[in-house]
Amino acid sequence: MTRGGAPRSLRRSAALALAAALLALTACGGPPTTDAFGPTTPGSWRLVLADGFDGTTLDPALWTTCYDWNKGGCTISSNNESQWYLPSQVSVGDGRLTLTAERRATRGSDGKTYPWRSGMISTGRDQWYGEPRRTFTYGYFEASILIPAEKGMFPAFWMMPASRYTPPEIDIMEFLDSTTQVSMYVHWREPDGERARQRGTYGPSDFAGHFHVFGLLWERDTLVWYVDGIETFRVTDPGRIPDVPMEVMLNLAVGVPREPPDTVDLARMKVDWVRVWQK
């Protein structure tokens, strides 16, 4: 029995029924909920991070606007992404976080010129030798997100080790060359050192038309992904499940797997809230 009097199983059944109804509404053009679904297994869960972006500026105690290798901005050079991340592309207002990708030639501190600039947030460090703001080992992670409709965008909600070396990596949601199918990944390293990954997908759905809630349950023996409260992907192989502290990130990359068409000069990813629970 949990606080409030209703057994967890009944509350979970009700949430699933609500989610199914909302998905049906979405198919008919109605918006899905942006309410949190919360942890999906029994236990004494505590809400350890909650940001509803209710002010006019990003909370610096919770978030930074780059990766840990921030030097006047950042990118992931190994991904061949087309954007350079800058804090000016991150804004908060009307109860939402907005990450804006803009076609504007930007010279990075790595000496390269990027055709786009964009925004991201992370619970990590401001610089390589700093301390992460928040790291998490296991928990339940959720965010309510509206992805951009424009082609050539690569929105993601994911987790990277605080060590800054990957794998492992958990991608709670990614959109690769599609706005109707979400991809979910876990990355790991095999005993022989080879990199490996496992992918799940879910769709089709109108992800660019409405906010959707993307969730991940990360426990010692299980990874489970959710979309609007519905289980969409599960991994139970212990060799594939990370057991290291990780930082939480949301970003709007550009040009993966292909460049935006010439008709696209601007795109926005919006986040209604982010929440993390732990036992």
Which CATH number fits the domain that encloses residue 239? 2.60.120.200
Q: Report yes or no on 187 lying in a domain.
A: yes
Burial class (CB in 10 A: 0-12, 13-18, 19+), 167: middle
pLDDT in 10s for each residue of the chain, 279 residues:
333 333 333 344 444 444 444 443 333 334 555 689 999 999 999 999 999 999 999 999 999 999 999 999 999 989 999 999 999 999 999 999 999 999 999 999 999 999 999 999 999 999 999 999 999 999 999 999 999 999 999 999 999 999 999 999 999 999 998 999 999 999 999 999 999 999 999 999 999 999 999 999 999 999 999 999 999 999 999 999 999 999 999 999 999 999 999 999 999 999 999 999 999
Rounded CA gap, 85 and 66, in Å?
Answer: 7
The reply to whether 22 falls in a domain is yes
270 within a domain of the structure (yes/no): yes
User: How confident is the model at residue 35, as a pLDDT?
Assistant: 86
Other C-beta atoms lying within 10 Å of the C-beta of residue 105:
10
Q: Domain total for the chain?
A: 1
Neighbours of 174 (CB within 10 A): 19
Opening angle at CA 125, ends 256 and 193, nearest 5: 60
3-state helix, strand, coil in the chain (%, to 5): 10, 40, 45
Residue 1 lies in a domain: no
Number of neighbours of residue 3 by Cβ within 10 angstroms: 5
* In-domain check, residue 122: no
- Identify whether 118 is part of a domain: no
Containing structural domain, residue 218: 8-62+94-103+133-278
Residue 75 in domain: no
Q: What does the pLDDT read at residue 1?
A: 35
